[in-house]
Amino acid sequence: MEILNAFTVEVEEHFQVSAFESTISRDQWASFPSRVVANTRRLLALLDRRAVKATFFVLGWTAKRHPALVREIEAAGHEIASHGFWHRLVYDQTPDEFREDIRLGRDVLQDIVGHRVTTYRAPSFSITRRSMWAREILVEEDFEVDSSVFPVHHDRYGVPDAPLDIHCIDTPAGPLWEFPPSVARIGGLRLPVGGGYFRLYPLRWTFALLRRIHRVDRRPFMFYMHPWEVDPDQPRISVASWRSRFRHYVGLASTERKLERLLAEFRFGRVRDVMQAGTPHLRQLTAPA
Ligand SMILES: [Zn+2]
């Protein structure tokens, strides 16, 4: 049987990403024209054509303005998960601020869908060595699964020696499952896949890395992306730094076509489906109603 992999989407506006955080303040967000609904629908159509169910980490701020979009995602059979409310990096917050943010983000979603939301991903994978305290708070706030610890070297995120596989962490408040974003190992290197890397790498290189995760490590991979990555016409934010603009705009024009081929090449499912396929003891966790 071919391995089932996780397909995940971080539902946020093109101007809410960490790359533009120093350029666009949060009180300006409401003044930007929204593009998230149309972009998410493009992704929903793409997933529907391939009959793929995915996990959508929805930013609370965005969900609050577009509750019908959240219902539309769920009605299509996808899993609703939380991406916090304000898209603040976890390590830039105090534990109390973090708790407040994940409560806000979770409650907005739960009010819309009418059931528990128990899977979380931090903005820009910002649970790092500086913010490991966040995992205990996630458990206290009713989360069961986290996907925030990127086992890689990067300037903004990452724990370079973190486990690569789905694993359970014992926090003082109880267990928390971690499904890390994927890296392929080549020699001593850990090469990330998904998001900007998917846009940057030639498709054959991404495919080779993903197959390597299956063949060498014998584990499912976690793929992630954003609705704005299938929107080559989005307005350019010119005041951001060269590096931020490169990270955000590279390869936008070809992403949708590459995604079509990715979805044809591998089997994908929701985070919960992949975890249940790979770790039988996870079945004890309460599935959303
Ligand atoms: Zn995000």
> Separation of 1 CA from ligand 1 center, angstroms?
33
Q: pTM here?
A: 0.94
Per-residue confidence (pLDDT) for residue 253, from 0 to 100: 82
> Separation of 163 CA from ligand 1 center, angstroms?
22
Confidence of residue 184 (pLDDT cuts 50, 70, 90): very high
CA 96 to each of CA 100, 103, 107, 120: distance values in angstroms, whole numbers, following the listed order: 6, 11, 16, 17
> Separation of 48 CA from ligand 1 center, angstroms?
23
* Mean pLDDT of the region 223-233: 92
- Greater model confidence, 37 or 2: 37
Confidence of residue 279 (pLDDT cuts 50, 70, 90): low
The ranges assigned to domains in the chain are 4-284
pLDDT, tens only, 97-135? 999 999 999 999 999 999 999 999 999 999 999 999 999
Confidence of residue 280 (pLDDT cuts 50, 70, 90): low
> Separation of 58 CA from ligand 1 center, angstroms?
9
Per-residue confidence (pLDDT) for residue 251, from 0 to 100: 83
Instruction: Provide the strand spans (E) within the chain.
Output: 4-11, 55-58, 79-82, 119-120, 145-146, 167-171, 174-178, 183-186, 189-192, 222-225, 267-269
- Greater model confidence, 201 or 1: 201
Q: Does the pLDDT of residue 189 top 80, yes or no? A: yes
> Pairing relation of β-strands 222-225 and 4-11?
parallel
> Separation of 218 CA from ligand 1 center, angstroms?
28
> Separation of 90 CA from ligand 1 center, angstroms?
12
Provide the CATH number for the domain formed by 4-284 in this structure.
3.20.20.370
pLDDT, tens only, 130-181? 999 999 999 999 999 999 999 988 888 889 889 999 999 999 999 999 999 9
> Separation of 219 CA from ligand 1 center, angstroms?
25
Q: Does the pLDDT of residue 285 top 90, yes or no? A: no
